[in-house]
Each structure stands twice: as C-alpha cells, then as structure tokens.
Amino acid sequence: MITVANLTKSYGGQVLYQNGSFFIGPGEKVGLVGPNGAGKTSLFRLITGEERPDSGSIDYAKSLRICYFSQNVGELKGRSALEEVIHGNPRLGFLKNEISKIEKALEDGEYSDELLEKLGDYQTEFEKLGGYDIEYQAAEVLTGLGILPEAHQRPVESFSGGWKMRIALAKVLAQKPEFILMDEPTNYLDVESIIWLENWLKNFKGSVFMTSHDRDFMNGLVKKVVEVNHKTITVYSGNYDFYEKEREIRREQLVASSERQQAMLQKEEEFIAKFAARASHAAQVQSRVKKLDKIERIEVMPEDQAINFEFPKPPRSGNDVVKMESVGKVYVTPEGSEKRVFSGVSGVVKRLERVAVVGVNGAGKSTLLKVIAGLIDSTEGKAEIGANVNVGYFSQYSMDVLNPQKTVFEEVRDRVKDKSDGFMRNLLAAFLFRGDDVDKKVSVLSGGEKSRLILATILTNPCNLLILDEPTNHLDIRSREVLVEALKAFEGTLLIVSHDRHFLKQLTTQVAEVNRGGVTFYPGSYNEYLHRVGGHP
C-alpha cells in the first residue's frame, strides 16, 4: 500500500534519518515511535506530500485516499460540529451545499433543464462518494467521541480546544479513507472515548499509521512498530510491549558485538604499535593496518533520556487524609442558570491509599479534585483535609500559571526560596533540564517540557498528599513509566485523574467514579473496577 525506500531527510544540517525503509500493507495497524525531535511528524508530512525527502522515495497509488489527523487542527468556525465533520471531505461539503442551493431554487420556481441536469450530476457524484451516509456516519463518530447528539448543531467556535480536537478527529474517521495517519489521537480523550476509538479502529478495514503515548491503546491495535531514532528507521513485528522487549534484546546484542569488536581492535592495534618499527614484521603490520581501515565500526547509540527522580520522604500524615460529608457543587452558567456537577459525596480517603478518580469528560472529576485541594469551595457539605497533611496539586491547567517571560531556573527559584542553586540544578536535571536548558524562556517550552517543569516544582516540597489531574499529558511512554515507578515508591496518599489505563492499572487501590451527579467508591485495583463495570468505565 505504502512503500518507503531509502528515505533520507534533514533539516538545517541535522539528519533525521538516512536510507530508511519500511512497508505498510492493506489493513495493517502500525505504530510510529521515537523521542521528541526524531522526525515522527516530519515522516507523516513526507507521506502526505507536504514535505519532500532529500533522497529516497515514498510510493503509493495516486487513487489511495489518505486522511491525516494532526495536533494542529487549525481554526474551526462558521459551521456546526456536524457540518464541520461532513466537510472533512471538501468535495462532499461542496456537493451538499450545491444540491441544497439547487433544490431551494427549484422550490422558488427557478425551473430549467440545465438546473435539473446539474442537480442530477451532483446527486450521482454525492451518492458515489457516500454522501447520503456521511451525515449518519458523522453523527455516529461524534457521539462515540463524547460529543452527544444535543451538541451536534452547536457552532464549532463554542467548543473548547480539547473538544475541537475531537471534532477534528471525527472529521478524519467519518470519511472512512483507505489510509489514516494519526498523531496522538488519544490526547484530550477520556477513557470511555479512547475505548470507543480503539474498537472503531480495530473494525476499520483500512490501514493506520499512528503515534501515541498510550501504551494500552498501542498494544490493543498495532501489530508492527516503526521506530525513528538516531538517524535510523527500524521495524519491529509486534505490538508495543514486543517492541520494547525486542529493542532491549537487540541493544544488548549490539553492545556485546561492539565489545567483542573493541577487544579485537585493541589487540590488532597493540600488535601494530609493538612491531611497527621492525622490518621483519613490516608486511604483517601493513596487512593489519589495511584490515583495520576496512572494518566498519559498530556504533552503539546512547540510550534515550527519560525523567529520573524519586519523591522526597514526606512527613507522616494522620490516618484520615480526606473526609467528605455530603459534598455538592453547583455552578452558575453565564446565562444565570444553575448547573449541578455532583451532590451528596461522602467518603474517607485513608493514608497511603491510591485513588483513581474516573468518569467521562465533564462529569466533574477535576472539580472534585479542586474542592478537595481547597482551590474552590463546595456549594454544599464540606471536604476536610486531615491532620498533618501537606497537599501537592498538579493540574492539566497548571501550565497556565507559568510566567512565559521567566526562565526555567527563575520559575522554580521563585517557588522555592530555601534551596541552594546546586539542589535546584540537580532537580531540574532529573527532569531533563540540563546545561543551557535551564536558561530557556518558559514561552518557548513544549507542552511536555511545561508538564515536567510543574512536576519539578511540586517535588521541591515534601507533600504527603499528591492530587494529580492528568499528570501524564504530553509525557512520552518512557517518562510515564518513570513517573509510575516514582509514584509506586511515594510514601504518601494519591488522588489521580488520568486517561492512561496502563498508568491507572499500575497504581490504583481504590476507584472513585464520578457519574450522574454523584460519586461511587469501588475498593480494589483499576482492573477490578473494570471487571465490575463490564470492562467499560
């Protein structure tokens, strides 16, 4: 279907990949992995023709219908959500509008053979392109991604950024192309929508080439992994877990081969140095010099960096860390009406518990965490923090409080006055801000860098209650794994909202489900919770 052969691409003298090759066949689901900056997005843009390779080729049939979902959705406005999805195929959108115009003209008495002929041509093409099914498909996909039917006619500009991403994703899926490129499709989706998308893609007959930081999502879909890293493209035949294990095996084999080669080279070089000045060994020395010149050195690339830290030992809190009694929250909308988020929430979070707060987007998960953290007041009841509890709070919106004009070092220094510069630099280095990185302005940081910076500021204080709202957003899989291991070792209490199922499965001892205006507590792991609710949150 798509053949990439001997691909080479560079930017400003920096080589992304050299002579890379791989093939994606009909119906294959393939994952694309690699560290930030390795060239994953560039590979997508090369496939779509937005960029040109320095050398090599990307071949596929001209008739192949390709759709690309990227994180840059552009400006969406002027249509309803449903219309925006239907217009994902510009030709279909054009035909739909023209058919409507002609039908209205006929209703108004503007009758002519030419108009009727044009209407017939447009209707035939519209049907051939699946236009009469597109509205149903668009509605089905929007609903599956969490945008309910009552919101389908809302103007797209009334949706927040995360919901616009869902509309953009629905535009791609509803067209049912033969080949889909997807750049982080699970960002901004709740677990329910991720499960729906996973099932949709499993049943999709076409091919998929995607990046994702969601391990469970990748494992559930892909049967092949293409890695871009250290200027090379490498193919692994398996899911993400297989890729990770096989990659380590290949690296160990490469390291062993390199060590054997280095031992051989050292032996040969010692011989040359020892006998270089002896005429009786001149021929042997020259022979070995030529042999060494022809040997291709085995290069072992450095391992990719991941955040590396452990939480400081916190002071011991009381046994009752959070107590909630009939907690309720009501918001007043801009129109002046009241919207109830939840009510009657009662429960106790005990010391060392790890509680996953789950529910669909908009159910009130973040609101509940804010009430517990004391950032907003409850409308009814009370939520109290227990004795000797120090709260650390990370929000998916915490990045908004960063000062874009400050450097990384200044931002952390302003939040931590009692630590030495050496401590600060070691802390930032653990979160991959090394050398000149600490002098970067916050304004130029990526989403992942900002997330790491916020986590670093939380780490500077010995908290014994961590409230984490989507802490894995913008973190790659390796960094998520490091965060999981650090949280496992954390000697305090956790309240976590996350759409990463693998992340929750590793940590949870209790689940609090926010649903239908209330909260239900389920003792046990996240896996046990999924089993109780039939595999779907």
Return the number of other C-beta atoms located less than 10 Å from residue 365's C-beta.
26
Residue range 124-136: average pLDDT? 82
- pLDDT the model gives residue 87: 83
- pLDDT the model gives residue 12: 78
Grade residue 400 by pLDDT with cuts at 50, 70 and 90.
Answer: low
The lowest-confidence range among 341-350, 447-456, 502-511 is 447-456
Class of domain 320-532: alpha beta
- pLDDT the model gives residue 451: 81
Classify residue 448 by burial, with Cβ atoms within 10 Å: 0-12, 13-18, 19+: middle
Residue range 58-77: average pLDDT? 87
Higher pLDDT, 277 or 3: 3
* pLDDT of residue 415 exceeding 80: no
For 447-475, what is each residue's pLDDT tens digit? Answer: 778 888 888 877 777 899 999 998 888 78
Highest mean pLDDT among 24-28, 257-261, 417-421, 428-432: 24-28
* pLDDT of residue 537 exceeding 70: no
* pLDDT of residue 399 exceeding 70: no
Q: In what order do the strands lie in the sheet with 2-11?
A: 14-24, 2-11, 55-59
- pLDDT the model gives residue 285: 86
Percent of the chain past pLDDT 90, that is, above it, reads: 52
Residue range 223-251: average pLDDT? 94
For 244-255, what is each residue's pLDDT tens digit? Answer: 999 999 989 989
The rounded Cα 188 to chain-centroid distance in angstroms is: 9
Grade residue 305 by pLDDT with cuts at 50, 70 and 90.
Answer: low
Place of tokens 């391990």: 215
User: d(Cα 85, Cα 79) in Å, to the nearest integer?
Assistant: 9
Ordered by start, the domain boundaries in the chain are 243-294, 320-532
List the one residue out of 369, 372, 366 whose CA is nearest residue 385: 372
Q: What DSSP designation does 248 have?
A: H
- pLDDT the model gives residue 402: 83
- pLDDT the model gives residue 38: 86
Residue range 314-319: average pLDDT? 92
Helices (H), 108-177: 113-128, 131-144, 161-174
User: d(Cα 284, Cα 188) in Å, to the nearest integer?
Assistant: 66
Q: Please give the sequence-ordered ranges of beta strands (E in DSSP) within 162-274, or none if there are none.
A: 179-183, 207-211, 224-229, 232-236
Q: 259 phi and psi, to 5 degrees? A: -65, -40
For 34-59, what is each residue's pLDDT tens digit? Answer: 987 789 999 999 999 999 999 999 99
- pLDDT the model gives residue 95: 87
User: d(Cα 12, Cα 335) in Å, to the nearest integer?
Assistant: 52
* pLDDT of residue 110 exceeding 60: yes
* pLDDT of residue 525 exceeding 90: yes
* pLDDT of residue 24 exceeding 90: yes
User: d(Cα 536, Cα 359) in Å, to the nearest integer?
Assistant: 10
Report the mean per-residue pLDDT for the chain.
Answer: 89
Grade residue 396 by pLDDT with cuts at 50, 70 and 90.
Answer: low
For 138-148, what is each residue's pLDDT tens digit? Answer: 999 999 999 99
For 363-385, what is each residue's pLDDT tens digit? Answer: 899 999 999 999 999 999 999 99
User: d(Cα 90, Cα 93) in Å, to the nearest integer?
Assistant: 5
* pLDDT of residue 20 exceeding 90: yes
Q: Please give the sequence-ordered ranges of beta strands (E in DSSP) within 333-421, or none if there are none.
A: 338-350, 354-358, 380-385, 391-394
Residue range 315-327: average pLDDT? 95
Global pTM reads: 0.82
- pLDDT the model gives residue 108: 83
Residue 186 zone, left/alpha/beta (φ > 0; ψ -120 to 50; rest): alpha
Residue range 100-129: average pLDDT? 86
Grade residue 397 by pLDDT with cuts at 50, 70 and 90.
Answer: low
Q: Using only C-alpha atoms, what is the Rg of the chain? A: 28
* pLDDT of residue 535 exceeding 80: no
* pLDDT of residue 486 exceeding 70: yes
Residue range 182-209: average pLDDT? 93
* pLDDT of residue 308 exceeding 90: no
Is residue 69 within 8 A of residue 179, CB to CB? The reply is no
* pLDDT of residue 5 exceeding 80: yes
* pLDDT of residue 340 exceeding 80: yes
- pLDDT the model gives residue 536: 57
- pLDDT the model gives residue 149: 94
- pLDDT the model gives residue 217: 96
Residue range 202-215: average pLDDT? 95
